[in-house]
Structure 1
Amino acid sequence: MGQDKITVGLIYGGKSGEHEVSLQTALAVSKAFNYDKYEVLPFYITKCGEWRVGSKLSGPFAALEELKLENGAQNTSAAINMLFEKLSTGTGSIDVAFPLLHGTYGEDGTIQGLFEMADLPYVGAGVLASAAGMDKVVMKKLFAEAGLAQCKYCYFTASEWSRGSYAIIQEIEEKLGYPCFVKPANLGSSVGISKARSREELQSSIAAALHYDMKVIVEEFVDAREIEVGVLGNDEPMASVPGEIVSSSEYYDYQAKYLDGKSQMLIPAEIDTELAEEIRDLAVKAFKAISGNGLCRADFFVKKSDQTVWINEVNTMPGFTPYSMYPLLWRETGVSYETLLDRLIELALERYEARQSLNFENGLQ
């Protein structure tokens, strides 16, 4: 690369409802980097979508407010140009992009497409896997194709709801019953999710979900333990030990996940070895079903009645906040936080190098 240190473009914030989670993640990651090995160039995307670029970091951010780069170049096009100049010898040189963006405009394939256009190595899933991993409906269709067991669900768009809400409610009641869970199809971190116990609650839950997305998914209630597994790798992914979420609230919502710190994460999960191995194998299968790269967290239901394992979802950019499951799973598996970051960057560069050998021309002159 023509330099001793690897320059990492750390990209965080964003326009999604998970902006604050992204800042927490970026702060934690900045503290975990080995600054003898890496230089870090921060890119902050405001809630309005404005890009700000800071100076290269010689050490971690000291506080959350520093991440907002108030004195940064508040010029979106200039910041994006720096991504495209990644191999130049100027101050804008970036060797690898590390998007710490959760939810819409960061985990959904949009920024991954920008990296591809910029011919820039980047950490995590590609365009397809990011988009499929963000859209819960598409994800479930890929899981079904891969033969993964999952709960029953219904889905519909905002326009379908406005044209025929009564028929949709009837289908939900017949197919799923109450209680059921209502979710925006394209949002992570449990934002906009609610539990409906009656027709009245179902209608209000759908109205709430439609504030976040144009497509809604409704899932049957499953009386189950929630088991999560970290996946790390490209073509030969590895699975971490499983962990279990014991929520502080009725279900694992945004408050329980990020704010109150009361949800228990039992790592490793108290399950027998055979079940743990089955879940780890299914996690890798789910990762491959969406064409994953780099990392993902795979979330499962283990039904209390018969111990059957159902895939719930995958998260292609799980958080690295102090309360986050993904790095804790790998720590228990024997991979430290710092080593995890090293490995993710290695995987990004490996994938980039492998793709350089591909011929994108049709051979015709």
Structure 2
Amino acid sequence: MKKNIAVIMGGFSSEYEISLKSAAVVMDKLDQNKYHCYGIYIQQDGWFYLDKNGAKHPINKDDFSCTIDDVKVNFHCVFNAIHGTPGEDGLLQAYFELLKVPHTSCGSYQAALTFNKRDFLSSLKPYGILCAKSYHLNQGETIDEDAIIKKVGLPCFVKANRAGSSFGISKVYKKEALNEAIALAFKEDDEIIIEQFLDGTEVSVGVITYQGKVTVLPITEIVSDNDFFDYEAKYQGKSQEITPARISNAQKEKVTHLAKKIYQLVKMKGFSRSEFIFLGDEPYLLEMNTTPGLTEESLLPQQAMAAGISLDALFDSAIEEALKNNPYI
């Protein structure tokens, strides 16, 4: 019997359009002989299934079902393609866990932890994982420019604490530019993190659970045409994404081991993509994404294909893992 799969997309953040692109690829690649796929839009003003005629069918949030032509449709599994809130910060994960609906994401706690850059990096420091020096600031607090520079130096990065796709991020070279960068970051989140600039090779490492095994994918080296790996570099072709990365065997071994260790330390499942910068042979962790981009141009799919894993197989495995490990059956 075919399984009903809800591919959720949209969300409430600046990453809305990117999510729609990821979901379109997932729906195109999933085996239509094996799954009935339903594209479910999650928006601030409503959740709905959009059929091929453009008609909206509301989602019943009591049990995450949908009625189409007087027939109630329940979903065997949810494929999460929402970047940012509420699909990457634990809110929807907790909702599906309460409803006992299998989903392809990590758990609600892991999603909430990793989405909060400050908390995530702080939680890993006791394990000896290297991170950039950072200064934390909440909206409404006094901005002490001298204290910031004393802690992290210049240049530095000003980031929204809970945002993705480089929205709200600035590289700051001068004290006079700090306030403008902070104001930009606060447009995305009411918490920000200001980090030391690490001058080294940047790499992205995908770690997934594939066919029952934690798998580290081939490493991608990021070379931005811009000053850093910003939105244009990520999504408008202004970067080189080199897979496999041009790093030494010692660097490869260290970052592969570290990425897998972090995945297992926080009890991750599903897809993840972690960013590191090498200072010499030592990898410094920047962040982890638990709902990475899933278009064919996105980093994790590139890495999967370099490992000989087709997108069809990658997405199918995510659903099979969710169904197999469903604790409610």
Would you tell me which structure has more helix in proportion to its own residues? Answer: 1
The reply on whether 1:106 has 2:90 as its aligned counterpart is no
Would you tell me which structure has more strand in proportion to its own residues? Answer: 2
Q: What is the CA-CA distance between 1:310 and the residue it aligns to?
A: 0.8
- Unaligned 5+ segments in structure 1 are 56-65, 358-365
The reply on whether 1:43 has 2:19 as its aligned counterpart is no
Q: Equivalents in 2 of 1:184, 1:200: separation in Å?
A: 19
Q: What is the CA-CA distance between 1:131 and the residue it aligns to?
A: 0.5
Alignment match of 1:71 (pick from 48, 52, 55): 55
Contact 2:88 2:112 in 1 (8 A): yes
The 4+ residue runs of structure 1 with deviation greater than 3 A are: none
Contact 2:6 2:39 in 1 (8 A): yes
Q: Equivalents in 1 of 2:34, 2:283: separation in Å?
A: 41
The reply on whether 1:206 has 2:208 as its aligned counterpart is no
Alignment match of 2:106 (pick from 110, 115, 125): 125
Which amino acid counterpart does residue 227 of structure 2 have in structure 1?
E
Q: What is the CA-CA distance between 1:251 and the residue it aligns to?
A: 0.6
How many pairs were matched up? 326
Contact 1:139 1:290 in 2 (8 A): no
1:253-299 Cα shifts (integer Å, max 9, x gaps): 112111x2231110111122332122111111121233211110011
Q: CA RMSD in A?
A: 2.0
TM-score by length of 2: 0.93
The alignment partner of 2:312 has SS state of helix
Alignment match of 2:20 (pick from 19, 23, 32): 23
Q: Equivalents in 1 of 2:72, 2:226: separation in Å?
A: 47
Contact 2:65 2:72 in 1 (8 A): no
Contact 1:12 1:45 in 2 (8 A): yes
Contact 2:66 2:72 in 1 (8 A): no
The reply on whether 1:313 has 2:287 as its aligned counterpart is yes
Contact 2:49 2:66 in 1 (8 A): no
Which amino acid counterpart does residue 51 of structure 1 have in structure 2?
W
Q: Equivalents in 2 of 1:332, 1:91: separation in Å?
A: 41
Contact 2:220 2:242 in 1 (8 A): yes
Contact 1:43 1:79 in 2 (8 A): no
1:279-323 Cα shifts (integer Å, max 9, x gaps): 1111111212332111100111112xx232111111000001232
Counterpart residue number, 2:127: 146
Contact 2:83 2:164 in 1 (8 A): yes
Alignment match of 1:262 (pick from 235, 238, 245): 238
Q: What is the CA-CA distance between 1:146 and the residue it aligns to?
A: 2.5
The alignment partner of 1:346 has SS state of helix
The reply on whether 1:12 has 2:23 as its aligned counterpart is no
The alignment partner of 2:73 has SS state of coil
Counterpart residue number, 2:221: 244
Alignment match of 2:301 (pick from 314, 323, 327): 327
1:81-110 Cα shifts (integer Å, max 9, x gaps): 462589xxx541211001110012110000
Counterpart residue number, 1:349: 323
Contact 2:158 2:181 in 1 (8 A): yes
Contact 1:178 1:197 in 2 (8 A): yes
The alignment partner of 1:340 has SS state of helix
